[in-house]
Amino acid sequence: MSACRLIALAFVVDFSAGCARFGDEESTRASLLQMPEMTNTVAAARGSFASSDAWPSQTWWTGFASPELQRLITTALADNPDFKATAARLRQSQAMVDAQAAELYPTIDANVSFSAQRFSANSVQAKLAGENFRHMLINPLILRYHLDFWGRDAAALQSAVGRSLAVAAELADARLLLAATVAKAYFELLAASEKQDIAARIVAERQALLRFEQTRLATGLATDAPILQARIALANAEQGLAAAHSDVELNKNLLAALAGKGVDWGSAIVIEQDQVEQALTLPVDLPLHLLAHRPDISAARLHAEAAAEEIKVAETAFYPDVNLVAFTGLHSVSLSDVLLQGSSLAYAVGPSIEFPIFEGGRLRANLEYQQAAYDAAVERYNRSLVHAVQEVADALSRWRELDARLVAQRQSLADALAVEKLADSLHSHGLSDRAAPSLAKLEVYQQQFRLAALVGEQHKARINIIKALGGGYSDAKPAKQ
């Protein structure tokens, strides 16, 4: 009889294994992209940068030597609600790892139950008809242990670990994004503040020109046309001043929100115009080690690896599931017997085996779902990789553009200053009227305004390069490149 049972068991196991033939899906699964070629792009940009063995540090913002910027970023990293929500997700994922790891261990429970029962006098169980029973079960030890023959629990644990590591990488990416956003907003504030000061000087000079034209009109030296033009120019200057003032307020509001504070908090932000520009270098091993320094790419890769483990979990559902169950306790229909007689002792131990014979397509649907989830995770990784390469190329290109524009703008400002000096000299010698020096000064202000805007853009471009290079993140196990 025992041999027959073993044969029957072998047959069922073989039948179950036969149901778990997964076909040729592996050949149609999505695949991770290799590192896109960008050697020529980086080589073309190296002429504008010094080379270094180091990648950006995790506290890259300290290189700007701005105490106020450091305070803003530190406050944002401590109090920003979105960042704290991401940190909470990491704690959740770590708890899920602990919960999944517990599946590898046996569980021990205790159980006590009491019931009173009376059989009907008209019961089909004639021997018990009309009888009353009291039933007590005391099980101080109930053991359950899942025998992970097919690696389901191990794969589920690896998936949970991968998800947790992915969330940790996402937290690093959120930290980088938040710090970069705060830094760019602060430099935008500095540029807006400087443009506001210049706009105020432009308005003052336009008012002086209007008074000059009014004096000429009063003395009969001019018509109404110059005054109308002076008024139009003054109105335009006042609009520029209003716009610059609004930019200052908007950037303070943005910084307050990023720091998790109210808008009034932003009014205390210190504007430090004297900045120390840190030297911007490119790592000598770029693009070779780019993947190891991008938290978004690491997160996408870890999600894909976790999805691959979920496929393994889904595949094991096609095989028999074996659990070891044991208990010992006291079972009796008499309360006195439970405590006073050893005959109430009961125990059992043995395996519990479940065979997935017919599930209505549920197991196959779950497997296909996990396979599709893996494909989606891989394609998200591929998208992140392509985006990262584009982000680096765009940041380098933008830097070179601004570098060239700044050289030209500084020359324009130098020329405008020379014109202003010449206009002052001509006026002092009586060779021009009062309007000529004012117009020359206005041109200087316009060139300074454009220069302030370009300097602000260059600061943001510098931060974009640091962000594109990973902002100090390092993956201990990067994808193959």
Q: Which two tokens stand for residue 121?
A: 């006098």
Length of the chain: 481
Q: How many CA atoms lie within 13 A of 90 on its CB side?
A: 18
- Residue 51 CB neighbours (<10 A): 11
Q: How far apart (Å, rounded) are the C-alpha atoms in residues 80 and 198?
A: 33
Q: How far apart (Å, rounded) are the C-alpha atoms in residues 172 and 295?
A: 6
Backbone angles phi, psi at 294, to 5 degrees: -110, 110
331 bridge partner residues: 137
Q: Give pLDDT, residue 72.
A: 97
List of domains in the chain: 28-105+151-319+361-468 (1.20.1600.10), 107-147+320-355 (2.20.200.10)
Q: How far apart (Å, rounded) are the C-alpha atoms in residues 96 and 166?
A: 13
Q: Give pLDDT, residue 261.
A: 96
Instruction: For the chain, 481 residues long, give each residue's pLDDT as a single digit of tens.
Output: 444 454 345 445 444 444 445 545 556 889 999 999 998 999 888 888 888 888 999 999 998 889 999 999 999 999 999 999 999 999 999 999 999 999 999 999 998 888 887 777 776 666 666 777 777 888 889 999 999 999 999 999 999 999 999 999 999 999 999 999 999 999 999 999 999 999 999 999 999 999 888 887 878 777 788 889 999 999 999 999 999 999 999 999 999 999 999 999 999 999 987 766 667 889 998 988 999 999 999 999 999 999 999 999 999 999 999 999 999 887 777 666 656 566 778 889 999 999 998 888 999 999 999 999 999 999 999 999 999 999 999 999 999 999 999 999 999 999 999 999 999 898 888 887 888 899 999 999 999 999 999 999 999 999 999 999 999 999 866 655 5
Q: Give pLDDT, residue 17.
A: 46
Backbone angles phi, psi at 334, to 5 degrees: -125, 130
Q: How many CA atoms lie within 13 A of 32 on its CB side?
A: 21
CB of 120 closer than 8 Å to CB of 129: yes
Q: How far apart (Å, rounded) are the C-alpha atoms in residues 72 and 87?
A: 19
Q: Give pLDDT, residue 226.
A: 84
Q: Give pLDDT, residue 206.
A: 94
Q: Give pLDDT, residue 16.
A: 47
